[in-house]
């Protein structure tokens, strides 16, 4: 999904800084982005669980980016997350603590500069906790709330924050799951939606609009009924 978002920005002429664990392994992606779109692409080592390294990471970038996108996500197995406390903690750190931490740092730099857009890819799973994936969902709920607060804080400082709720996306994370076609976006759709949201200054987007309706319904089911449902 991150690569698709990078392609969408590169196609719009933006230079790209790709940050990931084992960034050197992204050399093929780097070449492909540069060849297709004729933009500069750089690779940067980044580990979302290593919060001590965040400062050095940001200082090491060739330039403070105009737009920063966090596409970190790790779903794991709900059954394991329920039983294994260490696993659950790792999940929460990966989906909430880490992404919030790096965006907080970038937010302060953007605020000092007085411009920029931060994009957090969160999840519809954060809209309401469900038995099938509430550990992941709760971390995403935290991240969504963090983005909302950050947007509020920076609204008058020239810095914009976009919350992206992709719904199902056809990626390695969802491979092998039997997902309904109408609700499942291709990564390229997410890329296009993110670029558009940034350009138009949108606040919260669902990539496929139908997800707004689906989640509105799910959020509004009364708790006495909801707790007995299998969702």
Partner 1 sequence: MKLSGWGRFPVVETQLCAPRDVAALQALVTGDEPVIARGNGRSYGDSAVGAHTTLDMRHFDHMLSFDAETGVLVAEAGVLLGDVIDAFLPRGWFPMVTPGTKFVTLGGAIAADVHGKNHHVDGSFGTCVEWIDLMGPDGQISRISREDDPDLFRHTLGGMGLTGVIVRTAIRLRPVETAWINQTTLPAPDLGAAMDLFEQHAHVPYSVAWIDCMSRGAHLGRSLVMLGDHAARADLDAKKARTPLDAGHKGAHTVPLDFPGFALNRWTVRAFNELYYRVGAWKPTKALVDWDTYFYPLDAVLKWNRIYGRRGFAQFQCVLPLDTARTGLTELLEAITEAGAGSFLAVLKRFGPQDSAFSFPMEGYTLALDFPMKPHTLDLLDQLDAVAVSHGGRFYLAKDSRMGAETLRESDSRAAEFEALREARGLKEHFASAQSERLSL
Q: Applying CB under 8 A, which residues contact partner 1?
A: 28-29, 31-32, 35-38, 172, 175
SS3 state at 69: strand
Of 38 and 55, the one with the shorter C-beta distance to partner 1 is 38
Let me know if 63 is exposed, middle or buried by CB neighbors in 10 A (0-12, 13-18, 19+). exposed
Return the CA Rg of the chain: 18
CA distance readout (Å), 159 to 76, 105, 165, 200 = 33, 13, 20, 13
Q: Quick one: tokens of 53? A: 């390294």
State in angstroms the smallest separation of the CB of 125 from partner 1.
23
- The gap from C-alpha 55 to its chain's centroid, in whole angstroms, comes to 20
* Long-range Cβ pairs for the range 179-185 (8 Å, 24+): 182/208, 182/210, 183/208, 183/210, 183/211, 183/214
Of 183 and 231, the one with the shorter C-beta distance to partner 1 is 183
Catalytic residue among 74, 134, 136, 206: 136
Of 32 and 77, the one with the shorter C-beta distance to partner 1 is 32
Residue 28 sits at the vertex; the CA angle it makes with 23 and 34, to the nearest 5 degrees, is 100
Sign of torsion over alpha carbons 175, 221, 83, 164? positive
Query: Does the active-site annotation cover 136?
Result: yes
State in angstroms the smallest separation of the CB of 31 from partner 1.
6
State in angstroms the smallest separation of the CB of 36 from partner 1.
4
State in angstroms the smallest separation of the CB of 209 from partner 1.
16
Of 77 and 186, the one with the shorter C-beta distance to partner 1 is 186
State in angstroms the smallest separation of the CB of 32 from partner 1.
4
Of 33 and 107, the one with the shorter C-beta distance to partner 1 is 33
Q: Give me the count of residues in the chain.
A: 231
Q: Quick one: tokens of 126? A: 């954060």
CA distance readout (Å), 153 to 146, 148, 150, 160, 221 = 10, 9, 5, 10, 31
Residues labelled catalytic? 136
């Amino acid at each position: 999904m991150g690569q698709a978002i990078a392609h969408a920005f590169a196609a719009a002429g933006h230079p790209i800084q790709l940050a990931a664990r084992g960034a050197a392994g992204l050399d093929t992606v780097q070449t492909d982005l540069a060849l297709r779109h004729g933009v500069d692409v750089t690779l940067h080592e980044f580990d979302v669980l290593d919060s001590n390294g965040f400062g050095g990471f940001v200082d090491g970038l060739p330039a403070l980016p105009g737009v920063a996108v966090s596409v970190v996500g790790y779903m794991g197995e709900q059954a394991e997350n329920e039983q294994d406390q260490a696993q659950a903690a790792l999940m929460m750190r990966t989906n909430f603590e880490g992404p919030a931490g790096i965006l907080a740092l970038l937010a302060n730099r953007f605020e000092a500069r007085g411009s920029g857009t931060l994009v957090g890819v969160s999840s519809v799973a954060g809209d309401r906790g469900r038995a099938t994936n509430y550990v992941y969902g709760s971390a995403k709920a935290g991240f969504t709330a963090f983005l909302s607060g950050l947007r509020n804080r920076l609204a008058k400082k020239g810095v914009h924050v976009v919350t992206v709720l992709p719904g199902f996306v056809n990626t390695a994370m969802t491979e092998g799951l039997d997902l309904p076609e109408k609700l499942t976006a291709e990564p390229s759709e997410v890329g296009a939606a993110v670029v558009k949201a940034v350009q138009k200054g949108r606040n919260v987007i669902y990539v496929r609009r139908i997800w707004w309706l689906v989640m509105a319904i799910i959020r509004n089911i009364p708790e006495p009924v909801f707790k007995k449902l299998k969702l």
